[in-house]
């Protein structure tokens, strides 16, 4: 587990204090306040956040901003409806009127998220920033419990977009422990392996795989339930990190779709492009629906992440790829890998390697309620859930059949 910054606890206390008066941040003059603040310091920290803000985080951001050849403007704010819904980077750039990288990062609970816009000093020079972010294999593996890691990465990505320099590796301390663990790929006990059967249903859909719940031969009694949630190693991942991934891709997909719409409005395009637009739109709408789920159900934001990434793929013309069956948060399932003699599933390259060794990847864990009163919680791979109770995950987040959009619009959950 990466070291947490205890001072963020204080910061959260400050936010809790702020909560009763969200209007403070919603005041229309906030953009003016920030623009004025930037005249003295290009890192603006919201007043109430300032006393508790870790200096080391600011120093890291400042140091990275010093390595690039364009101005970097940063605003660190509490998350309120106003800071969440306004396109602040664009508004702020319009106020300042200078080219540069504009970053607005907001915090709620223990979770930092942000948006950015890059206005290039040299006009349309270099690559698209979103493109660079999508090609960055480490982009979605960076922690969200403090602001500097992702801000530093975004500045580096913008430099790559602007002058083509290579992206440095992300320091190990900035990567989520869940990913570090997953990449280590511990195999599930073979006694726990869930059976998986293929079943032809005919018709145009052809082959549909159905998940069956099997009796577990051995109880994984040693899995410490309580520690699981905190360590992230023995339990499901933190819901905020999944929501963060979903949010980033919803923003990216929205931008890509907007660009496609502009293209469609300006030129004659083929019906194939219009189909892609419709597909992207439907997936993005479904992603937003799932993301709006405020319950503690981990599968909803995971589904939102899968759909938003696919919406981006559809809109960009890259071709929609299925998720990794074992963990929807992994890289897409680009390999058809054999899980057993009869069963093939789309898997990411890491999981495909584990399957090659004859083992089952650890998979995406969720809490399963059990016991007489269903008060007992146990971490289990999602595919061992009863598909009748969890229709959303019945086809592996759409890995086995591309049906997630329809399931969401039908209201399955
Ligand atoms: Zn995988």
Distance 156 CA to ligand 1 centre (A): 27
pLDDT tens digits along 160-173:
999 899 999 999 99
Torsions phi, psi for 141 (to 5 deg): -105, 5
Residue 123 lies in a domain: yes
Please answer whether residues 85 and 26 qualify as being in contact, where contact means their C-beta atoms are separated by less than 8 angstroms.
no
* Count of beta carbons in the 10 Å neighbourhood of residue 123: 8
- The DSSP annotation for 192-261 comes to GPPPEEEEE--TTT-EEEEE-----SS--TTS-HHHHHHHSSSSPPPHHHHHHHHHHHHHHHHHHHHHHH
Residue 5 Cα to ligand 1 middle (Å) = 30
Separation CA 362–CA 131 (nearest Å): 30
Helix (H, G, I), strand (E, B) or coil at 168: coil
What residues make up the domain containing 57? 7-174
Q: Which residue has the tokens 């969401």?
A: 408
With a cut of 80, say whether residue 177 has pLDDT above it.
no
Provide mean pLDDT across the span 129-156. Answer: 85
Judge whether residue 369 has pLDDT over 90: no
In a domain, 33, yes or no: yes
Q: If you measure from the C-alpha of residue 326 to the centroid of ligand 1, how many angstroms do you get, rounded to a whole number?
A: 5
Q: Please work out, in degrees rounded to the nearest 5, the angle formed at the alpha carbon of residue 351 by the alpha carbons of 349 and 356.
A: 90
In a domain, 53, yes or no: yes
In a domain, 2, yes or no: no
Going by pLDDT thresholds of 50, 70 and 90, the confidence category of residue 191 is very low
Per the structure block, which two tokens stand in for 378?
A: 């146990």
- Å from CA of 97 to ligand 1 middle: 44
Which pairing describes strands 100-108 and 111-119: parallel, antiparallel, or unpaired? Answer: antiparallel
Residue 306: pLDDT band with limits 50, 70, 90: very high
To 10 degrees, what angle do helices 30-40 and 88-96 make? 60
Both 14 and 69 in a single domain?
Answer: yes
Decide if 1 is inside a domain. Answer: no
**In Å, how far are 19, 75, 244 from 54, measured between CA atoms?**
21, 15, 22
Give 323-364 pLDDT, tens digit per residue. Answer: 999 999 999 999 999 988 888 899 999 999 999 998 899 899
Residue 94 pLDDT > 60: yes
pLDDT at residue 114, rounded to an integer: 80
Residues 276 and 147 both lie in one domain: no
Eight-class DSSP state of 166: P
- Let me know whether 141 and 255 are in one domain: no
- Give the distance (Å) from ligand 1 centre to CA of residue 328: 7
- In sequence order, the β-bridge partners of residue 196 are 211
CA distance 95 to 400: 48
Task: Please state, in angstroms and rounded to a whole number, the distance separating the CA atoms of residues 276 and 270.
Answer: 10
47 CA distance to ligand 1 centroid (A)? 42
Distance 330 CA to ligand 1 centre (A): 5
- Please, is 208 exposed, middle or buried when counting C-beta atoms within 10 Å of its C-beta (0-12, 13-18, 19+)? middle
Is residue 130's pLDDT more than 90? Answer: no
Residue pLDDT, tens place only, 246-275: 999 999 999 999 999 999 999 888 999 999
* Same domain flag for 128 and 259: no
Residue 106 lies in a domain: yes
Instruction: Establish if 211 belongs to a structural domain.
Output: yes
* Domain contains 134: yes
Main-chain dihedrals φ then ψ at residue 271, nearest 5 degrees: -65, -25
Distance 157 CA to ligand 1 centre (A): 25
Q: Are strands 376-381 and 365-370 parallel, antiparallel or unpaired?
A: antiparallel
CA triple 402-129-98, angle to 5 deg: 140
Q: Find the mean pLDDT for residues 39-64.
A: 92
Q: Provide the token pair at 266.
A: 């300006």
| Residue 110: φ, ψ to 5° | -110, 30
Examine the domain organization and report whether 211 and 242 are in the same domain. yes
Distance CA 392, CA 396 (A): 8
From ligand 1's centre to the CA of 325, what distance in Å?
A: 7
What CATH number did the domain enclosing 128 receive? 3.10.310
Identify the pLDDT of residue 110.
67
> Could you give the percent of the chain with pLDDT greater than 70?
75
Give yes or no for residue 14 having a pLDDT over 50.
no
Same domain, residue pair 265 and 383? yes
Q: 204 with 165, same domain?
A: no
Please count the structural domains in the chain.
2
Residue 167 DSSP SS3: coil
Claim to verify: residue 205 and residue 115 sit in the same structural domain: no
- Measured in Å, residue 353 CA sits from the centre of ligand 1 at 9
Note whether 160 and 305 are same-domain residues.
Answer: no
* 189: pLDDT strictly greater than 80: no
208 and 90 in a common domain? no
């Amino acid at each position: 587990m990466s070291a947490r910054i205890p001072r963020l606890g204080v910061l959260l206390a400050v936010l809790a204090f702020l909560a009763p008066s969200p209007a403070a941040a919603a005041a229309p003059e906030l953009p003016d306040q920030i623009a004025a603040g930037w005249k003295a310091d290009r890192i603006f920290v919201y007043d109430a956040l300032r006393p508790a803000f870790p200096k080391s985080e600011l120093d890291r951001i400042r140091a990275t901003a010093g390595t690039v050849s364009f101005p970097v403007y940063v605003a660190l704010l509490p998350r309120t409806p106003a800071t969440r819904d306004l396109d602040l980077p664009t508004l702020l750039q319009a106020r300042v009127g200078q080219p540069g990288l504009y970053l607005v990062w907001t915090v709620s609970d223990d979770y930092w998220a942000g948006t950015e816009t890059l206005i290039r000093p040299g006009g349309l020079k270099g690559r698209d920033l979103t493109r660079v972010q999508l090609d960055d294999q480490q982009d979605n593996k960076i922690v969200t419990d403090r602001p500097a890691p992702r801000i530093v990465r975004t500045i580096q990505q913008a430099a790559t977009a602007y002058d083509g320099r290579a992206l440095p590796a992300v320091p190990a301390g900035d990567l989520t422990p869940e990913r570090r663990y997953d990449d280590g790929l511990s195999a599930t006990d073979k006694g726990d392996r869930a059976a998986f059967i293929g079943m032809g249903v005919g018709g145009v859909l052809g082959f549909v795989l159905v998940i069956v719940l099997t009796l577990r031969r051995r109880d994984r009694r040693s899995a410490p339930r309580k520690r699981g949630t905190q360590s992230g190693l023995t339990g499901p991942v933190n819901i905020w990190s999944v929501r963060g991934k979903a949010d980033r891709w919803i923003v990216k997909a929205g931008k890509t779709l907007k660009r496609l719409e502009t293209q469609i409005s300006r030129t004659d395009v083929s019906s194939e492009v219009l189909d892609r637009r419709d597909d992207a739109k439907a997936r993005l709408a479904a992603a937003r629906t799932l993301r709006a789920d405020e319950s503690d159900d981990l599968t909803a934001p995971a589904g939102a992440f899968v759909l938003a990434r696919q919406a981006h793929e559809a809109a960009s013309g890259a071709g929609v790829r299925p998720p990794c069956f074992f963990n929807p948060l992994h890289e897409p399932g680009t390999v058809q890998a054999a899980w057993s003699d009869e069963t093939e599933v789309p898997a990411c390259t890491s999981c495909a390697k584990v399957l090659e060794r004859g083992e089952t990847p650890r998979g995406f864990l969720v809490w399963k309620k059990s016991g007489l009163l269903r008060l007992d919680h146990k971490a289990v791979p999602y595919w061992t859930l009863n598909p009748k109770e969890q229709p959303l995950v019945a086809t592996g987040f759409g890995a086995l059949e591309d049906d997630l959009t329809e399931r969401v619009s039908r209201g399955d959950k």
